[in-house]
C-alpha cells in the first residue's frame, strides 16, 4: 500500500504560526522535501526536528520527481514544504501532488499559514468572491492587458508581486484601473508588516518615495470605490455572519 504525501504549511514569517499537527508530521516522516533545504533546516532546528531533508524545486523537479514517487510507493511517508506558507500554491509542489494522485498515492494537506489568505482577510476588500492569479506576468505589456481585462469585475483580485516589480506595477495600475480599490500587503506576519490602502495613484505615489522592500501581495477590486455597492452574499447587517 502506498504511503502518504503530506503538504505541510509552514510559517510565512512568524514562527509561532506553525501548527501542532505540522510539527508532529515533520517529526514522524522519514523524509522532508523542501525548496531550499538550508531555509527549511532553520525551521526544523528551531523546533528540534532532526528530519532527513532533501531538495525538490523548480529546477530539479523533472529529474527527481520519479525517485520521490517511488519512495512514497515503497519506503515511507513524505512531507513536502515550501520556503514559506502553503506548498503547491504558486509553487513546484503542485507537480509532485498531481503526479502522486495519478499514481494512487494519498495526498493529505496540512493547513496553516498562507500569504494569499492572510492578505485577503486583512485587506478590507470583499472576500465573498475572489480570484487568485499567482505571480503577475513579467512583462509590462502583459500586465497592462491583464489589468484592463479586470475592469468591472466584482470579485477581489489577488496577485503575488516581486519587490523589483512593485513600483512599475503601481504605475501600470494607475494607467489601467485608476478607480480600483487597491491594497498592498507587505511582509505579512513579520516585524514590519504593513497594509497600504488607497487608489492606484496613492499607492504609486507612496512607492515613488519609498523603494519597495520585502514580500508583496497585491489586492484590488475594480468596482468604483465610491459606488457603495454591497457584493452579493456580503453581510447587510440583518444576519449573524457565518452560519
CATH number of the domain within which 52 lies: 3.40.1010.10
At 2, the pLDDT band (50, 70, 90 cuts) reads: confident
**How does pLDDT run across 131-156, given as a tens digit for each residue?**
999 999 999 999 999 999 999 899 99
Residues 122 and 217 in one domain: yes
41 vs 47: CA distance, rounded Å: 10
pLDDT of residue 1: 67
Residues 133 and 175 in one domain: yes
pLDDT of residue 238: 36
Residues 106 and 11 in one domain: yes
The pTM of the full predicted model, rounded to 2 decimals, is 0.87
Residues 213 and 119 in one domain: yes
- Domain membership of residue 228 (yes or no) is no
Of 60, 82, 110, which marks where a domain is finished? Answer: 110
pLDDT of residue 226: 43
pLDDT of residue 236: 39
Residues 57 and 144 in one domain: no
186 vs 119: CA distance, rounded Å: 9
**How does pLDDT run across 181-233, given as a tens digit for each residue?**
999 999 999 999 999 999 999 999 999 999 999 999 999 999 754 444 433 33
Residues 144 and 88 in one domain: no
- Domain membership of residue 229 (yes or no) is no
pLDDT of residue 223: 77
The CATH number covering residue 156 comes to 3.30.950.10
Using CA atoms, how far residue 27 sits from 5, 16, 21, 34, 71, in Å, is 14, 17, 10, 15, 18
pLDDT of residue 168: 95
- Domain membership of residue 92 (yes or no) is yes
Full domain range(s) for residue 9: 5-110
- Domain membership of residue 231 (yes or no) is no
For the record, the C-alpha cell of 219 comes out as 489586492
Region 72-99 average pLDDT? 95
Amino acid at each position: 500500500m502506498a504511503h502518504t504525501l503530506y503538504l505541510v504549511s509552514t510559517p510565512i514569517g512568524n514562527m509561532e504560526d506553525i501548527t501542532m499537527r505540522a510539527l508532529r508530521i515533520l517529526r514522524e516522516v522519514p523524509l522532508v522535501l523542501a525548496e531550499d533545504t538550508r531555509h527549511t533546516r532553520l525551521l526544523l532546528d528551531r523546533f528540534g526536528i532532526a528530519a532527513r531533508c532533501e531538495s525538490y524545486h523548480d529546477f530539479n523537479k523533472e529529474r527527481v520527481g520519479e525517485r520521490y514517487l517511488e519512495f512514497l510507493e515503497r519506503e515511507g511517508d513524505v512531507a513536502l514544504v515550501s520556503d514559506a506558507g502553503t506548498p503547491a500554491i504558486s509553487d513546484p509542489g503542485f507537480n509532485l501532488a498531481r503526479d502522486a494522485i495519478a499514481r494512487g498515492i494519498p495526498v493529505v494537506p496540512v493547513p496553516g499559514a498562507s500569504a494569499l489568505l492572510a492578505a485577503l482577510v486583512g485587506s478590507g476588500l470583499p472576500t465573498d468572491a475572489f480570484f487568485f492569479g499567482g505571480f503577475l506576468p513579467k512583462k509590462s505589456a502583459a500586465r497592462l492587458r491583464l489589468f484592463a481585462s479586470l475592469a468591472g469585475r466584482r470579485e477581489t483580485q489577488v496577485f503575488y508581486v516581486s519587490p523589483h516589480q512593485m513600483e512599475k506595477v503601481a504605475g501600470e495600475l494607475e494607467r489601467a484601473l485608476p478607480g480600483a480599490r487597491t491594497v498592498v500587503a507587505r511582509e505579512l506576519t513579520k516585524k514590519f508588516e504593513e497594509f497600504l490602502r488607497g487608489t492606484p495613484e496613492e499607492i504609486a505615489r507612496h512607492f515613488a518615495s519609498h523603494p519597495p522592500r520585502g514580500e508583496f501581495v497585491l489586492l484590488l477590486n475594480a468596482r468604483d470605490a465610491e459606488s457603495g455597492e454591497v457584493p452579493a452574499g456580503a453581510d447587510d447587517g440583518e444576519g449573524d455572519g457565518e452560519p
